[in-house]
Structure 1
């Protein structure tokens, strides 16, 4: 029996949505053949396109900001899927607390320290750095 899990689908150019997702279809939901997992605080994982930078996917600023807010200084290209992970490393659905943490992180202006980290990580993108310095 296939179970669906609660996830957050973060598209770089469209809306951010909460979806029930089959864990076996994460790569298809991202739109890639190879994915990577970015571990964040609070047992949240971001599944991302492993080849997003080299295949021309757009910068995913919302997912990049979220990653920086939750402990990973990574830059994300293409679609990202946020899910939870249990102690055994199994992908599971987001809890209410995790979902609220993601929604809050995506909805609020990043704090000064997070902006500084983003400026460093996004230094190859001067237009975005300029924008970050002005918020």
Structure 2
């Protein structure tokens, strides 16, 4: 089952900002994450304890630079590389390591911030 309101944000390499509804179960969530990022293996950049950026583990070789994701990462101090391909922004992980969706208030704030970049 899916959430009724968007709880993640997809940043495409061509600059689109796409609200995403992640499924409630962890296994289904991982399937959707791989699908929207267009990869079989992904990596996580923990921007903060409550904000993760997911990207194709082989994106450097398969996708163009994602200027919006790179700018966002730099705002959080990750300025040593460019990020490639589609990127999914979610909440942090829980104590078991399960990816959490963005809380509704965090989603709205982040969406507004991204639209101004």
Q: Normalising to structure 2: TM-score of the pair?
A: 0.78
Structure of larger gyration radius: 1
* Corresponding position of 1:50: 57
Q: Which residue of 1 aligns with 2:26?
A: none
Structure 1 residue 17 displacement after superposition: 1.2
- In structure 2, the residue matched to 1:81 is 88
Q: How many residues align?
A: 107
Gaps of 5+ in 1: 110-135
Q: 1:24 is matched with which residue? A: 30
Q: After superposition, what is the alpha-carbon deviation per residue over 1:10-34, rounded to whole angstroms, capped at 9, x for unaligned?
A: 1111521111023122112100111
Quickly say closer, same or farther: Cα 1:38–1:99, change in 2 above 3 A: same
The answer to whether the Cα contact below 8 Å between 2:46 and 2:92 also exists between their aligned partners in 1 is no
In the alignment, the residues of structure 1 paired with residue 103 and residue 66 of structure 2 have an alpha-carbon distance, to the nearest angstrom, of 24
Deviation at 1:97, TM superposition (A): 3.3
7-16 vs 70-79, greater mean Cα deviation: 70-79
> Whose RCO is larger (CA < 8 A, sep 6+)?
2
Give me the CA root mean square deviation: 2.1
1:53 is paired with a residue whose SS is: helix
Tell me the CA shift for residue 47 of structure 1: 0.6
Could you say which structure has the higher helix fraction? 1
- Deviation (angstroms), 1:6: 1.3
Residue 71 of structure 2 is aligned to residue 65 of structure 1: yes
Q: State the shift of 1:104 in Å.
A: 3.5
**What is the correspondence of 1:72-111 to structure 2 with a 5 Å cutoff?**
72-73=78-79, 74-88=81-95, 89-109=97-117
2:91 alignment partner, SS class? strand
Q: 1:106-121, aligned counterparts within 5 Å?
A: 106-109=114-117
